[in-house]
Amino acid sequence: MSRVKRLLLWSLAILTLGLIVLVATGCALYAAARTSTVGELEFENRLAIPRLLQAREEAGRKVFDLTLRRGSTALVPGEPAETWGANGDYLGPTLRASRGDDVTIRVHNTVGEATTIHWHGMHLPAIADGGPHQPIEPDATWKPSWEIDQPAATLWYHPHLHEQTADHVYRGIAGLFIIDDAATGRLALPNEYGVDDIPLVIQDKRLHDDGSLDYSQGWISPTGRLGDTILVNGTYDPYVDVRHSRVRFRLLNASNARIYSIGFADDRPFELIGTDGGLLERPQRLDRVQLSPGERAEIVARFAPGEKVVLRSFEPDLDTNFFENRFAGGDDSFDLLQIRAARTLAPSPPIPERLAAPMPVNEDHVAGTRRFELNGNSINGRRLDLRRIDQVVVAGTTELWEVHNDSGTPHSFHPHGVSFRIVEYAGGPAPPHLRGLKDTVYVPPGNSVRLVVRFGENSNPDRPYMFHCHVLQHEDRGMMGQFVVAPG
């Protein structure tokens, strides 16, 4: 054999070997990337219910005190992790106020570094919004005030410091902010907090063997940190006892990147009664509700005396390609919570046929259309620059916002300070679970969503609000822009 021929054969052999190794690792990674805890939990721990924070009355205002602090929490039993929380070691209390209330929140930061608290879904002046423009320095207290001026809804709060949101949320600062209003208060809906009206803050974590939080981003995941340990209200492997025949659950996806498709293990239907921005006009009977990070849903489920039912996250429909789907968690499933119904259940009235007042969407009164292209950690080809205002809108107007996901990667869209209605979703009408008031929406790869956004009267040409992808790693990498609301 000539030398040249031998060399050729050798290179061919090495190349083939390399290819085999590559394919084998690819297959192994692909196989390993699928996670499921279905059937594996024991439901040993009683679900924690975030406590309701009592407000102080001060000169006609409701004043809430939140202290951000460091703590230590056994996220899984017996293995303490360093965590952050508000008024506690992990997560934060539930704030509650009614439409028309004047509120002040005193946020005292003792975590030893700057952070912020953003009121996700709240209609409020930009200066009180708590985005990257309102950092709270160590040991400082930030005191935003505003008037609650929106329908009853399940909102939430979380840090939003520039380039640090993913870590600060992952460490554990997040909580609910429930808004009430008079009309909703008159409806026959389960409303005893923690009893037949139960908040469920759902998060995934990746933990080291010693129980500490793993901060690595997951180098192969297109959306960042995905964990295989699920916490509900900070409780691992949880169960909850219920004493009523109907129970309302306020679901919040407070995860960094994971998308859940939530339903019951026995596929029983439930009534979806509310989405991000408030109650639906009518309940929708469903057996799954999908939530991307930041989204909320209020559901009411029925239980029979003495039964045990598991709330589960099924494989979500990410509507993307084979690989992105697997590595973004599209093939993952989890048991979330076991519900244990008492032997005798207090009867609950049926869910009212009508919930919120009709909310016609009138596209004729749209003042203009804007387009947002999501791609490669940027929006319209630009990453966040805090000195640049990307959009100027006018107070009191309604606009059509078209958001297109140009990439193969899962993204979402969330504008601050407003709620919107979805008038078109991936080429069709909005699916039932996306027909109510929303502030965050999943935008499937290669698809568009069209949103009718109504801007309120809070205006200030110098104080921007943010719009961004709510996959926290994407947001931190600059997949975010700024808009101001100019006076009308």
Give contact residues for Cu ion (rule: CB under 5 A): 411, 469, 471, 474
The answer to the question of residue 258 lying near ligand C2O (CB under 6 A) is no
- Which of 248/414 has CB closer to ligand C2O? 414
Least distance to ligand C2O, CB of residue 475, Å: 7
Residues 6+ apart with CB under 8 A from 141: 106, 107, 108, 109
Considering only CA atoms, which of 454, 389, 390 is closest in space to residue 421? 454
* CB nearer to ligand C2O: pick between 333 and 405: 405
Long-range CB contacts (< 8 A, 24+ apart) of 319-323?
319/426, 319/444, 319/445, 319/447, 320/408, 320/409, 320/410, 320/444, 320/445, 320/446, 321/408, 321/445, 323/30
> Among residues 99, 435, 468, 474, which is the contact residue for ligand C2O, using CB under 6 A?
468
Query: What DSSP assignment string belongs to 435-447?
Result: SS-BS-EEE-TT-
Size of the site for ligand C2O (CB under 6 A): 10
Residue 428, Cβ density class (10 Å: 0-12 exposed, 13-18 middle, ≥19 buried): exposed
Smallest distance from the beta carbon of 256 to ligand C2O, in angstroms? 11
Our finding on whether 404 is near ligand C2O (CB under 6 A) is: no
Identified binder of ligand C2O from the candidate list 99, 120, 411, 435, rule CB under 6 A: 120
SS (H, E, C) 329-341: CCCCEEEEEEEEE
Q: Which is nearer to ligand C2O, 195 or 484 (CB)?
A: 484
Q: Does 466 bind ligand C2O (CB under 6 A)?
A: yes
Residue 276: phi and psi, rounded to 5, are -40, -50
Among 277, 294, 329, 481, binds ligand C2O (CB under 6 A): 294
Cβ closest to ligand C2O, residue 248 vs residue 468: 468
DSSP conformation letters of 78-129: TEEEEEEEESSSSB-PBEEEETT-EEEEEEEE-SSS-B--EEET----GGGS
* 250 binds ligand C2O, rule: CB under 6 A: no
Nearer to ligand C2O, 194 or 456 (CB): 456
Count, in order, helices (H) and strands (E) of the chain: 5, 33
Question: In angstroms, how far is the first alpha carbon of the chain from the final one?
Answer: 85
Convert residues 415-444 into a mask of x (bound to ligand C2O by CB under 6 A) and - (unbound).
Answer: -x----------------------------
Residue 450 contact, options Cu ion, ligand C2O, none, Cβ 5-8 Å cut-off depending on partner type:
none
- In the complex, the smallest distance separating the C-beta of residue 118 from ligand C2O, rounded to whole angstroms, is 5
Question: Which string of x and - marks every residue 43-82 that binds ligand C2O (by CB under 6 A)?
Answer: ----------------------------------------
- Residue 313 or 412: the one with the smaller Cβ distance to ligand C2O is 412
Which residue, 211 or 376, has its beta carbon nearer to Cu ion? 376
Angle at 234 between CA 163 and CA 413, to 5 degrees: 40
Least spacing, CB of residue 405 vs Cu ion, in Å: 8
Tell me which of ligand C2O, Cu ion, none is bound by residue 469, counting a contact when its beta carbon lies within the kind-specific cut-off of 5 to 8 angstroms.
Cu ion
Instruction: Name the phi and psi angles at 184, rounded to 5.
Output: -70, -35
SS3 450: strand
Residue 229 phi, psi (nearest 5): -105, 120
The secondary structure of residue 14, as a DSSP letter, is: H
Does the footprint of ligand C2O cover residue 162 (CB under 6 A)?
no
Q: Report how far residue 470's alpha carbon sits from residue 414's, in angstroms, rounded to the nearest whole number.
A: 6
State the minimum distance, in angstroms, from the CB of residue 402 to ligand C2O.
20
Task: Report the residue number, 124 or 318, with the smaller CB distance to Cu ion.
Answer: 318
Q: Quick one: which of 62, 99, 123, 160 contacts ligand C2O (CB under 6 A)?
A: 160
**Which residues bind to ligand C2O, rule: CB under 6 A?**
118, 120, 158, 160, 294, 414, 416, 466, 468, 470
